Structure 1
Amino acid sequence: MSFTLRTATEEDLPALRELMALAIDTLQHGFLSPEQIVASRAVMGLDTQLIADRTYFMVEEEGALAGCGGWSRRATLYGGDHSVSLREPRLLDPATEAARVRAMYTHPSFARRGVGRMILDQCERAAAAEGFDAVELMGTMSGQPLYAAAGYRPIEEVTDMVDGVPVPLVRMRKELEASSSQRKLGS
């Protein structure tokens, strides 16, 4: 069996939302308390701007949704449509700002099988193709091991308070390798 990656569309929204809810509720055990898992729903979820921008991807195996995630050229670092206070739709300047990796989720049945890495690689290639030299993301406690293994480094610890419940997060960054056209110019 092999994974396929494709760009998500508006028709995929119900399946994406279902996967995200399952991933939040299942994969955070051992990292967050039950109260923190419930609170994290307020700061996680799908930002449909990523779908509209065609920068959100799905990984499937024989028609089964294995994972999803994307990147953005917009300033919003994390949060879903319901996280209005976190949204900043301004376009980033690739010469001075890092692209964003956003809304990474894996179906629990497909955890630790390379789905997240496949999506990260696609996001990094797409951001580099648009001239970005770095990417940043807001990592959950359960996502940090993947991001660290993929070369992301912590730059800021954040606690998002939701109705008095702390949700710990870590802002992480990765410098991207120079694109092949940049390497040619430099040689």
Structure 2
Amino acid sequence: MPLPDNTRLHAYTPDDLADVRQLHALAFRVLAAGHHDAAQIAAHEDLIAAAAYAADLARSNLVLARHDTDGLIATAGWLALEDRPHTARIRKVFVHPAWARRGLARALVQAAEQAAARAGYPNLYVRANVNAVPLYLALGYRTEAHGIMPAGSAELPVVYMTKPAS
């Protein structure tokens, strides 16, 4: 799926940190609200604001989608999994609520999948927030297990999903 007009992709740099934090917090607060309570959303925002989040972003092969007038509108990345040979974990998939359901998440996840495959990681894994499960199912992922992601003072329900190399 093509990106919207006037949108460009670029790799994450530390200069993007404030924008990424703002987007991730907003996207989760708005788009995941139907699946999480206020305490879970606040705990997730605390994770995003934590100092360790910057290092996590830097190691995530993160790609950002910027619109000429709206700024940062989406992110997605991947990380090699040490415990699963030839497997990348898709991560940090967030879309600005004003741009949701227009194919951005699909386009960025597919770009992350392709980048991971080019780097030697054709098998894919995701720890999906429950609100994102339909996206991953539509992209060919299969549920492996249900679980909990610790988020400081709260726990978030997640679904572990895999997609074998095609």
Higher helix share: 2
Q: Which runs of 5+ in 2 are unaligned?
A: none
Match of 2:149, as an amino acid?
Answer: D
1:176 aligns with 2:146: no
Asked whether the 8 Å contact 2:75–2:92 carries over to 1, the reply is: yes
Asked whether the 8 Å contact 1:50–1:72 carries over to 2, the reply is: no
1:13 aligns with 2:17: yes
Q: Evaluate the alpha carbon distance shift between residue 43 and residue 147 of structure 1 in structure 2; reply closer, same or farther with a 3 A threshold.
A: farther
Deviates more, 1:115-124 or 1:33-42: 33-42
Instruction: Report the equivalent of 1:88.
Output: none
Larger radius of gyration: 1
Q: Evaluate the alpha carbon distance shift between residue 72 and residue 160 of structure 1 in structure 2; reply closer, same or farther with a 3 A threshold.
A: closer
Instruction: Report the equivalent of 1:66.
Output: 73
Instruction: Report the equivalent of 2:139.
Output: 150
Asked whether the 8 Å contact 2:144–2:161 carries over to 1, the reply is: yes
1:56 aligns with 2:62: yes
CA distance in 1, matches of 2:44, 2:60: 26
TM-score normalized by structure 1?
A: 0.74
Asked whether the 8 Å contact 1:50–1:71 carries over to 2, the reply is: no
Instruction: Report the equivalent of 1:24.
Output: 28
CA distance in 1, matches of 2:59, 2:39: 33
Offset at 1:72?
A: 1.1
Q: Evaluate the alpha carbon distance shift between residue 49 and residue 129 of structure 1 in structure 2; reply closer, same or farther with a 3 A threshold.
A: farther
Instruction: Report the equivalent of 2:125.
Output: 136
Secondary structure class of the residue paired with 1:168: strand
CA distance in 1, matches of 2:56, 2:105: 17
Match of 1:155, as an amino acid?
Answer: E
CA distance in 1, matches of 2:155, 2:57: 29
CA distance in 1, matches of 2:39, 2:114: 37
Asked whether the 8 Å contact 1:50–1:70 carries over to 2, the reply is: no
Asked whether the 8 Å contact 2:47–2:53 carries over to 1, the reply is: no
Asked whether the 8 Å contact 2:43–2:153 carries over to 1, the reply is: no
CA distance in 2, matches of 1:171, 1:93: 15
Secondary structure class of the residue paired with 1:41: helix
Asked whether the 8 Å contact 1:36–1:165 carries over to 2, the reply is: yes
CA distance in 1, matches of 2:60, 2:149: 28
Match of 1:15, as an amino acid?
Answer: D
Instruction: Report the equivalent of 2:87.
Output: 98
Q: May I ask how many residue pairs the two structures share in their alignment?
A: 159
Say what the alpha-carbon RMSD is for the aligned residues.
2.5
Secondary structure class of the residue paired with 1:55: coil
